[in-house]
Structure 1
Amino acid sequence: MKLLVVSAALACATILAACGAQPSEAPNDGDAVRERAQTAQTARRRTGAEIQERAATRVIRTVYLCQDSERLTVDFDNPRQMATVRTSGGMAYDLFREQADDGLWYKASGYELRGKGITATWTASDKPTTECRAVD
């Protein structure tokens, strides 16, 4: 009886060992690893059209640091064509998109945010105009 139990145990162990993970077929030399990494990176890249689509249908937050030590947090709400500017003093202003030849232009009631690339000009009705630079 013990011999039958031992034989059955060995048979089960042999079957389970055969079901184990097989070694990877992919070569592990440097060139093959580099090629797999480049292929994976390329698959994750977004096309220009995909990036534009995301920007046009989402709210994008940008933080600006200005020359007058003001810190602006701007939520560009592209679907609604407006931007909410929050100052470091705790004030918030809703600005509406204007047609700009190049770059961005939002304004409302004496407040204006204009810019191109990572630079912008902030105009508040109660302060002098200041130059700002995006930090995020």
Structure 2
Amino acid sequence: MKRLVALAVAAVALSACGQKPKDAPTDGDSVRIRAQEAQTARRRTGAEAQDRALNRVIRTVYLCNNSERLSVDFDNPRQMATVRNSSGEAVDLYQEQAPDGIWYRASGYELRGKGVMATWTSDGRDPTECRAVD
């Protein structure tokens, strides 16, 4: 019985091999050119990256010192941010001109920050420091 199982396994392994694929060249000019084209195709210029960020909605998740988790959708074309807290409540904030970093606010709510750090102020509560995690 063991011999029969071993023969069946060997037959399956041999049938999986099939034909050998054509060998691709591993050196020479054609390989160098393909590698350069592949690298060039993935790169974006700074202007392209900035244009992409300015013309779409970007979601960021913040964890705050007061244990609150904020999900923020930055709607750059509309110059707005929608902030959702841990309990699902949402508030729309409007972009303000910040000298450096981000600044969004609306009637008692404010989100200010630079880099991965931000300060969240919600109506009637003390401001809390938050860090972007996503």
Report the TM-score when normalising by structure 2: 0.75
Task: Name the SS of the counterpart of 1:88 in structure 2.
Answer: coil
1:43-82 residue pairs with structure 2 within 5 A?
Answer: 43-82=41-80
Q: Does 2:125 correspond to 1:131? A: no
Structure 2: where are the runs of 5+ without partners? Answer: 1-20
Deviations 1:40-72 (A, max 9, x none): 123211111111111111011111111111100
Question: Which runs of 5 or more residues in structure 1 are unaligned?
Answer: 1-22
Q: How does 1:37-48 map to 2 (within 5 A)?
A: 37=35, 39-48=37-46
Distance (Å, rounded) in 1 between the aligned partners of 2:64 and 2:31: 45
1:110 aligned onto 2:99: no
Provide the aligned C-alpha RMSD in A. Answer: 2.5
Please name the residue that 1:97 is paired with.
Answer: 95
Larger radius of gyration: 1
Equivalent in the alignment of 2:8: none
In the alignment of these two chains, the number of paired residues is 114
What does residue 18 of structure 1 align with?
Answer: none
| Displacement of 1:25 | 9.0
Task: Calculate the TM-score normalised by the size of structure 1.
Answer: 0.74
Q: Identity over aligned residues, as a percent?
A: 73
Once superposed, which parts of structure 1, at least 4 consecutive aligned residues long, lie more than 2 Å away?
23-27, 32-39
